[in-house]
Amino acid sequence: MIEIMPDLPENVVAAIANGQVTGDDYEKVLIPAIEDKIRKQGKIRMLYQLGPNFTGFTYDAMWDDAKVGIWHLTAFEKIAVVSDVDWIIDAVKVFKFAIPCPVKTFRNKEFAEAKAWIIE
């Protein structure tokens, strides 16, 4: 399940994922939120938290994540990924060289720092 976090600047898409994240979560919640902000703002910042209750992605969700990243690769100014899942943190570190904006990882206990970094 993905929910959009309220009360952040207009150029920020902030989402929290808990439980099992599916392709429907991307297609009905996250992708529309990203595309709406891009239409309105041009460039956006992404704060994506995999919360303490996150259990994993379905194959469709991983595919949708890759597609949205490729389709909108140059639309991101900054990306912060917050997670306690080691393979997620490692994957972001491996692939961030291919992303043309600053990308930073944080642990869930560092959420406040992630939020501050994404809006600065």
Q: Which 3-state string (H, E, C) describes 30-55?
A: HHHHHHHHHHHHCCEEEEEEEEEEEE
What the block records as the tokens of 29 is 């919640």
Q: What is the CATH number of the domain that holds 36?
A: 3.40.50.10600
Predicted structure pTM score:
0.92
pLDDT tens digits, the chain, 120 residues: what are they?
A: 999 999 999 999 999 999 999 999 999 999 999 999 999 999 999 999 999 999 999 999 888 878 777 777 789 999 999 999 999 999 999 988 888 899 999 999 999 999 999 999
Which residue in the block uniquely carries the two structure tokens 């991101």?
Answer: 76
Which residue in the block uniquely carries the two structure tokens 């938290």?
Answer: 49
Domain assignment of residue 18, given as a range? 2-119
Q: Which 3-state string (H, E, C) describes 97-120?
A: HHCCCCEEEECHHHHHHHHHHHHC
What is the tally of structural domains in the chain? 1
